[in-house]
A and B are shown apart, each in its own frame.
Chain A
Amino acid sequence: QQQVKQSPQSLIVQKGGIPIINCAYENTAFDYFPWYQQFPGKGPALLIAIRPDVSEKKEGRFTISFNKSAKQFSLHIMDSQPGDSATYFCAAKNAGNNRKLIWGLGTSLAVNP
């Protein structure tokens, strides 16, 4: 059972475009929502994270938007660059278990020059 549903599976944008990756969840006990970025041949690395008491968080060109009532959160990449081409994973943590993340299935992003 997929507890965090991520879409789309893959995405192609032109340089300068704004790719948006969406995640949805059902469990209202989730209290922490990170995004990880994975380049080919590397392990994932934390990109940005948000807690449900905040509706938006920005770090450089990356923004998380969080809609608690809809149980959705999304990653926006402003002014995307070819170097942003990577796989992006959303995840969630259950407030009752702070050792384990529940992962989305990932989105493969390609930014064309």
Chain B
Amino acid sequence: DVKVTQSSRYLVKRTGEKVFLECVQDMDHENMFWYRQDPGLGLRLIYFSYDVKMKEKGDIPEGYSVSREKKERFSLILESASTNQTSMYLCASSLWAGQGALSPLHFGNGTRLTVT
């Protein structure tokens, strides 16, 4: 069974702090994703990575960066946390299924970040 583990379930940070959210998957998946989930706004893609050291911007990358130094680990970085980044952050991974295909996304259980 695929396991996607997010390092923290709850996190409280102060405005202006640099915040690291960590995600590890144990199934050798090529693709990894960071989403944020807010009531009424669904799932919004922040960044994704399809290989080590590779990354692509999602729909809302502003204020975020990512790092993927190892295949199993994908980190989301808030360079200077702001109150509007208070949200639920979800990490996901998926296998590269070849051109024209998309294998299921496997999500972690989320990190609820509060920025005060």
In the bound complex, residues from chain A placing their C-beta under 8 Å from that of B48 are: 99-100
A89 within 8 A of B: yes
The distance from the CB of A70 to the nearest CB of chain B, in whole angstroms, is 22
Tell me which residues from 87 to 109 in chain B have a Cβ below 8 Å from any Cβ of chain A: 90, 92, 97, 99-102, 104-109
Total number of B residues with any Cβ neighbor in A under 8 Å: 26
The one of B41, B102, B108 in contact with A99, judged by C-beta atoms closer than 8 angstroms, is: B102
- In the complex, 17 of the A-B residue pairs with CB atoms within 8 angstroms, ordered by the A residue number, are A34-B104, A41-B110, A43-B90, A43-B107, A43-B109, A43-B110, A44-B43, A44-B105, A46-B105, A98-B99, A98-B100, A99-B50, A100-B48, A100-B58, A103-B43, A106-B42, A106-B43
Tell me which residues from 13 to 46 in chain A have a Cβ below 8 Å from any Cβ of chain B: 31-32, 34, 36, 41-46
Are B45 and A100 interface neighbours, CB within 8 A?
yes
Are A105 and B109 interface neighbours, CB within 8 A?
no
Are A46 and B109 interface neighbours, CB within 8 A?
no
In the bound complex, residues from chain A placing their C-beta under 8 Å from that of B105 are: 36, 44, 46, 101
- 1/0 per residue, CB under 8 A from A, across B15-59: the answer is 000000000000000010000000011111100101000001010
In the bound complex, residues from chain A placing their C-beta under 8 Å from that of B107 are: 42-45
Contact count band on A: 20 to 34
The SS class assigned to the A binding surface is strand
Interface residues of A (CB under 8 A from B): 9, 31-32, 34, 36, 41-46, 49, 89, 93, 95, 98-101, 103-106
In the bound complex, residues from chain A placing their C-beta under 8 Å from that of B104 are: 34, 46, 49
In the bound complex, residues from chain A placing their C-beta under 8 Å from that of B101 are: 98
In the bound complex, residues from chain B placing their C-beta under 8 Å from that of A44 are: 43, 90, 105, 107
The distance from the CB of B99 to the nearest CB of chain A, in whole angstroms, is 7
B81 within 8 A of A: no
Answer whether A101 and B102 are a contact pair too, CB < 8 Å, given A43-B90, A43-B92, A106-B42.
Answer: yes
B76 within 8 A of A: no
- Rounded to whole angstroms, the CA-CA distance of A45 and B90 in the bound complex is 12
